């Protein structure tokens, strides 16, 4: 039997969903936990999240936001105040009903822990925090002088997921949720749009993912929102991933939570609020957008290690000399700055065979691998491998040349990943005008192995939410967004109803 030629089996072409699971495992990013639907995020995966978190947090603070923290448990009565919001999350809520356990002996001699001390009011483990943060805002706001309130929290949330998939859909996940309150509708809408732009910029310039920004249809809006804006990314099986959302909530939540203030006219009025968030789903999006059949490929800007130096020590008596030389190179590189931060350089000093270490970092997707052995010390050279190229691609460079060019190489990798993802998206984005073209583009239902789902279909649309529901049921295809940009504005006729349409929308299958 022939050996596989790739590190990951099955390949993307053979079974994309299983390829994804194997990449997560091979790259040591996360694993399923003993709690159904929940995951353990391992150090390499959490390092990715830490960089995403730190870099996004800087953007939030640059736009005037501050961090706070709110309770994990939300009184059920809070959700009942905003009926549309509560209904939208009702099937996903986990509920705490007791506050004590008692040990009771069983007939077979075992001990069983029995919940006792039933709570007077159940608590919902937060699926999102609009209601409990709204209660805090109601306490904090007295006058228009207290506005705007620009708050963000980094937290975990729980939404009971029936079909979990690591990073993409888990019962518990990590995220940030921004919540703001404003004096006027115009200010709140500008906040909503500002954060929408922050997400689109972050995906493009940090994760090298060219998302399409736009607005959700009424059917796809966040429960209780007036407007929901989204950034939609295409991954390599041509499906869409909703990578971040920003919501204009109008006065709906302010009225439910009684967030009132004394206005400039000395009259009491309700605040205008927003919310916005991204989650660890970004890591799943990154894997599916950039990974190959040898593992994940991590964009340099968010890589936990941007450069890994691999000492080559064929003889024990040269080991320390080589390691010392590698450490000296790492120290020199760490003094350089890449996109405003010191280079993140790691020397892998583990006593493992070189081939095993090399493949481990290939699968983890570290942008640059550098090998140095006794001969390289003598010749003042290093062997450099870029992760965006094939696993056997290697260039011998003078050590000083590599030091001079290290940040340029990383920047080139970042740009090439964006170019590659943009080319994929553009190749599989089509302007279509008829139902027959729509059916041909999306083809039959996806099978369980994740047959490509067409891509992004730009269609004229003037249908109803019921029409959307039928298309979703018949084709597993939804309107991902009404995209922003003049290039999508044109006169036409809805491909389903024939009614007049002034703009194309993005249809796709999605995760």
Contact 430, 470 (CB under 8 A): no
In this structure, CATH architecture of domain 16-290:
2-Layer Sandwich (3.30)
SS (H, E, C) 41-104: ECHHHHHHHHHHHHHHHHHHHHCCCEECCCCCEEEHHHHHHCHHHHHHHHHHCCEEEEEEEEEE
Alpha-carbon distance values, 509 to 9, 35, 471, 472 (Å) = 24, 29, 11, 9
Predicted local distance difference test score (pLDDT) of residue 447: 47
Predicted local distance difference test score (pLDDT) of residue 226: 97
Give the whole-angstrom CA distance, residue 461 versus residue 459. Answer: 6
CATH number given to 429-508: 3.30.110.30
Given 3.40.50.800, 3.10.129.10, 3.40.50.11540, 3.40.50.300, which CATH number is that of 305-412? 3.40.50.800
Token reading at 428? 């599989």
Which are the contacts of 307, defined by CB distance < 8 A and separation ≥ 6? Answer: 330, 333, 343, 344, 345, 346, 366, 367, 368, 369, 370, 406, 410
Q: How many angstroms from the chain centroid is the CA of residue 466?
A: 29
Give the whole-angstrom CA distance, residue 49 versus residue 176. Answer: 11
Contact 329, 370 (CB under 8 A): yes
Q: Is 297 helix (H, G, I), strand (E, B) or coil?
A: coil
Predicted local distance difference test score (pLDDT) of residue 1: 39
Token reading at 510? 């999605």
Angle at the Cα of 283 from the Cα atoms of 279 and 288, rounded to 5 degrees: 130
**Strand partners of residue 309:** 347, 370
| Strands of 111-125's sheet in order across | 73-75, 111-125, 95-105
User: Can you list the residues of the chain whose pLDDT is less than 50?
Assistant: 1-3, 446-451
Which are the contacts of 236, defined by CB distance < 8 A and separation ≥ 6? Answer: 12, 16, 288, 289, 291, 424
Contact 372, 309 (CB under 8 A): yes
Give the whole-angstrom CA distance, residue 157 versus residue 280. Answer: 11
Q: Where are the domains of the chain?
A: 16-290, 305-412, 429-508
Q: What is the DSSP letter of 3?
A: P
Give the whole-angstrom CA distance, residue 126 versus residue 73. Answer: 6
**Which tens digits make up the pLDDT trace of 141-157?**
999 999 999 999 999 99
Predicted local distance difference test score (pLDDT) of residue 4: 56
Predicted local distance difference test score (pLDDT) of residue 353: 85
Token reading at 64? 């005037």
Predicted local distance difference test score (pLDDT) of residue 416: 98
Token reading at 468? 């959307």
| Sign of the dihedral defined by the CA atoms of residues 85, 91, 96, 97, in that order | positive
**Which tens digits make up the pLDDT trace of 462-493?**
999 999 999 999 999 999 999 999 999 999 99
Angle at the Cα of 37 from the Cα atoms of 33 and 41, rounded to 5 degrees: 45
Which are the contacts of 60, defined by CB distance < 8 A and separation ≥ 6? Answer: 67, 152, 176, 178, 198
Tell which residue, 162, 138, 339, 377, has the closest CA to residue 257.
Answer: 138
């Amino acid at each position: 039997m022939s050996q596989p030629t790739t590190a990951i089996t099955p390949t993307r072409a053979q079974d994309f969903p299983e390829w994804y699971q194997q990449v997560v495992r091979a790259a040591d990013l996360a694993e399923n936990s003993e709690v159904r639907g929940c995951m353990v995020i391992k150090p390499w995966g959490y390092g990715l999240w830490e960089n995403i978190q730190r870099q996004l947090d800087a953007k939030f603070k640059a736009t005037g936001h501050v961090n706070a923290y709110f309770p994990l448990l939300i009184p059920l009565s809070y959700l009942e105040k905003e009926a549309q919001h509560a209904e939208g999350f009702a099937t996903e809520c986990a509920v705490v009903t007791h506050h004590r356990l008692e040990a009771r002996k069983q007939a077979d001699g075992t001990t069983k822990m029995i919940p006792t001390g039933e709570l007077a009011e159940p608590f919902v483990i937060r699926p999102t925090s609009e209601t409990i943060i709204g209660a805090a805002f109601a306490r904090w706001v007295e006058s228009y002088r207290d506005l705007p309130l620009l708050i963000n929290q980094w937290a975990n949330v729980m939404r009971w997921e029936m079909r979990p998939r690591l990073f993409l859909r888990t019962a518990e996940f990590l995220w940030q949720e921004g919540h703001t309150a404003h004096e006027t509708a115009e200010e709140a809408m500008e906040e909503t749009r500002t954060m929408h732009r922050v997400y689109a910029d972050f995906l493009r310039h940090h994760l090298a993912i060219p998302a399409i920004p736009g607005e959700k249809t009424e059917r796809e809006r966040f429960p209780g929102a007036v407007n929901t804006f989204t950034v939609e990314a295409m991954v390599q099986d041509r499906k869409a991933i909703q990578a971040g959302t920003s919501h204009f909530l109008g006065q709906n939540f302010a009225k439910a939570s009684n967030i009132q203030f004394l206005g400039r006219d000395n009259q009491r009025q309700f605040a205008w609020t927003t919310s916005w968030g991204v989650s660890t789903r970004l890591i799943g999006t990154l894997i599916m957008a950039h990974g190959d059949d040898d593992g994940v490929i991590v964009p340099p800007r968010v890589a936990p290690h941007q450069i890994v130096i691999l000492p080559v020590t064929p003889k024990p008596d040269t080991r320390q000399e080589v390691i010392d030389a590698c450490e000296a190179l790492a120290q020199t590189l760490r003094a350089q700055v890449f996109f405003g931060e010191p280079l993140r350089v790691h020397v892998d000093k583990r006593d493992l065979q070189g081939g095993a270490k090399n493949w481990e970092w290939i699968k983890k997707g570290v942008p640059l691998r550098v090998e140095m052995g006794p001969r390289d010390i003598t010749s003042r050279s290093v062997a450099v491998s870029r992760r965006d190229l094939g696993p056997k691609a290697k260039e011998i460079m003078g050590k000083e040349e590599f030091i001079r060019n290290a940040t340029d190489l990383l920047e080139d990798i970042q740009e090439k990943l964006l170019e590659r993802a943009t080319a994929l998206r553009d190749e599989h984005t089509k302007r279509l005008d008829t139902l027959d073209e729509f059916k041909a583009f999306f083809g039959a239902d996806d099978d369980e192995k994740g047959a490509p789902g067409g891509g992004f279909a730009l269609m004229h649309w003037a249908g109803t939410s019921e029409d959307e529901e039928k298309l979703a049921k018949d084709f597993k295809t939804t309107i991902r967004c009404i995209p922003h940009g003049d290039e999508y504005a044109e006169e036409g006729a809805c491909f389903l109803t024939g009614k007049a349409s002034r703009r194309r929308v993005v249809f796709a299958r999605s995760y």
